[in-house]
A and B are shown apart, each in its own frame.
Chain A
Amino acid sequence: MKILIVEDEKELSESIATYLKGEDYVCEVASSFNKAIEKTELYDYDCILLDITIPGGSGLDILRELKANNKMDGVLIISARNSLDDKVTGLTLGADDYLPKPFHLSELSARVAAIIRRKNFDGNDLLQFQNISIDIRAKSVSVNNKTIELTKKEYELLLYFVSNKKRVISKNAIAEHLWGDDMEGNNDFIYTHIKNLRKKLMDAGDTDYIKSVYGMGYKFSDT
């Protein structure tokens, strides 16, 4: 999976690249408008992370260029200008998603995974992790070929974990992913939620993949 990061802040693009490489993505970085245009003309990417304000032009123009050339690359706009206009313009121009800065890398990774899944269906809607299989289209989960009943939030939580395998995910990131920005503050309720999901998976005969990491959050890992 190839990803292009169009972002002029070197520190940020490096962090993103480092994090996504851990998910087995191949990442390239373009730090200016011209470089981004050059790369998108030469190569196809599975997903392009697009900052709107970049030196030499607007990220929205790159998006226009892509659509004009009928490129099928998925586009995720990452913008510090959390303005409604940019969001609406971006999505109207054909971007797949919009993520305002500052974001959690785990959230970014989940969004990228979702875009790539949507782009590369190939008739395969199944996401496999060990003996857990997730049917993206039907939004159902089975363990050892046995379907388990998950609530909507538990399903989203599992998908979030699978998109961030072997990563420490903070409780904040989980809370924001599931309930949005307004639930700042006390994140203790996450615990109850994780407990429920873990119980359902283990009842179906699965190993416990959800590990709590001291002080920070959780990690979904098979090791």
Chain B
Amino acid sequence: MKLLSKYNRLNIFVTIVVLLLSAVFYYFFIKAVLIHQLDKNLLVEERELKDYVKEENQLPEPSNYKDEQEVYSQINDSQIIRRFSSIDVFNKEHDENISYRQLEFPVMVAGKMYRIDVRKSQEETEDLIQLILEITLAMVLILLITLFIINRFVLNKLWSPFNSTLNQIKKFNVSGTNDIYFQLTDINEFKELNGAVYTMTKRASHDYNEIKSFTENASHEIQTPLAIIKSKLELLSQGESLKEEQMDTIQSIYETTNRLSKLNQSLILLTKIDNRQFHEKEEVNLSTIVHNHLNNYEELIAAKLIAVTKNIEDNITVTMNEMLADILISNLITNAIKHNIDNGSIDVTLNKHFFIISNSGIELDAHPAELFERFKKDKVNSDSLGLGLSIVKKICDTYGFSVLYEYAGGMHIVSIQLS
């Protein structure tokens, strides 16, 4: 739930409760005030009537209007109590009940006891109360509309520096070169947030660059001695008077050095993929890459008498780094050749959804899931570095492709789901 809607929900609930409570309070308060006013008027009527009786010694003509009535009735009992009350009287003329405020009191006229009811209509009061209710409802409505407008236009604008910062954070890439830019704001909380984000991203970029240059330096430092060893061995092997065992030794050192340098290169590649240093993306034509690599290894395939079945649809494209696409395909195809048997087969399938490469070969001891881990390899082929498939996995992970290995019917099958 958005902070805004949560806040609004609470705000609206409290406002409506307060408005309704105050409406109830208003109702009773104003009713009491108005009735008090009516009672005062009734007292005035009483005094006027009593004055009239004192002077004239008779009752005045009773008035009988809709908003004011006087009713006289002769009584024997003098026990009548002077009191105010609210009553409903049926009005024939209007065919409805009308509420009145009434004052009853006894009056002695010419020795006879009368009960006098003086009434004043409460209709105005009720009208007033109804008006108050309507106003309250209207205010609730206006409040809701105002909140909606504030949400829609004002608050969104108020929060826009926050949203802009959030977008910048989402887009932030430690390996990217462009800095984060914040929308100017005079709100302290946002200023503080932007400051903290700025410091954090600066530090992340700085640390990242440190690690990146460390990796590069480390690779540099290791490759140079390797280059020296390799070149010296190559010069040494030019010697005319070498004995066979010396040649064997040189060759063995030479091959080990090669392995070491390939290992180093592969580890650097994995680190680079991890660090997202291959962030340039483009539409890559996988069909072309697959064909190119199959052509490149044509002789090797022929040398092992491997039959290749191609099910490659034309112009299958994916959005990824071209170099990584090349490494991915090349790794899988060379694997399929290297781990194949003589007179074996390779099936390559490429369509919109899948790239599947399968090759004949002996079943592996290793667990299929472990094959994608670094340095997991089968005992049979100790020449391989054990990094090829983890590079494949890493590349697939980078682009959200799922990759699966299975062994079925004498075939090693690696399938990559492209979409």
Contacts and interface: CB of A to CB of B under 8 A. Distances in A.
A193 B238 CA distance: 22
Contact of A15 (B235, B248, B258, B298): B235
A216 interface: yes
B-side interface size class: 35 or more
Interface string B305-333: 00000000000000000010000001100
A81 B277 CA distance: 14
Contacts of A18: 235
Contacts of B296: 179-180
A214 B237 contact: no
Interface string A156-196: 00000000000110101000000111111110010011000
Nearest to B261: A102
Nearest to A189: B303
A155 interface: no
Contacts of A215: 244, 247-248, 250-251
Nearest to A51: B224
B221 to A, nearest CB: 8
Contacts of A84: 278, 323
Nearest to B383: A185
Nearest to A191: B303
A193 B248 CA distance: 23
A26 interface: no
B158 interface: no
Main secondary structure of the interface of B (DSSP, over half): helix
A218 B304 CA distance: 22
A182 B244 contact: no
B234 interface: yes
Interface stretch (A27-35, A90-98, A103-111): A103-111
A-side interface size class: 35 or more
B231 A16 contact: yes
B31 interface: no
9 contacts: A12-B228, A53-B220, A80-B224, A103-B230, A105-B231, A189-B303, A215-B244, A216-B247, A216-B250
Given A81-B220, A180-B296, A183-B300, A168 B230 contact: no
Interface string B237-281: 110000010011011001101110110010010000000001000
A193 B255 contact: no
A184 B383 contact: yes
Contacts of A184: 258-259, 262, 383-385
Interface of A: 9, 11-12, 15-16, 18-19, 22, 53, 80-84, 100-106, 151, 153, 167-168, 170, 172, 179-186, 189, 192-193, 213-217
Contact of A82 (B219, B230, B259, B384): B219
Interface in B322-377: 323, 330-331, 334, 338
A185 B381 CA distance: 9
A104 B383 contact: no
A11 B228 contact: yes
Contact of B304 (A100, A102, A189): A189
B228 A9 contact: yes
B201 interface: no
Nearest to A22: B238
A214 B251 CA distance: 10
B234 A170 contact: yes
Contacts of A192: 299, 303
B232 interface: yes
B216 interface: yes
B247 A214 contact: yes
Contacts of A12: 224, 227-228, 231
A82 B268 contact: yes
Contact of B254 (A82, A172, A180, A185): A172
Contacts of B231: 11-12, 15-16, 19, 102, 105
B226 interface: yes
B302 to A, nearest CB: 8
Contact of A181 (B220, B230, B265, B323): B265
Given A82-B268, A183-B300, A15 B383 contact: no
Contacts of A53: 220
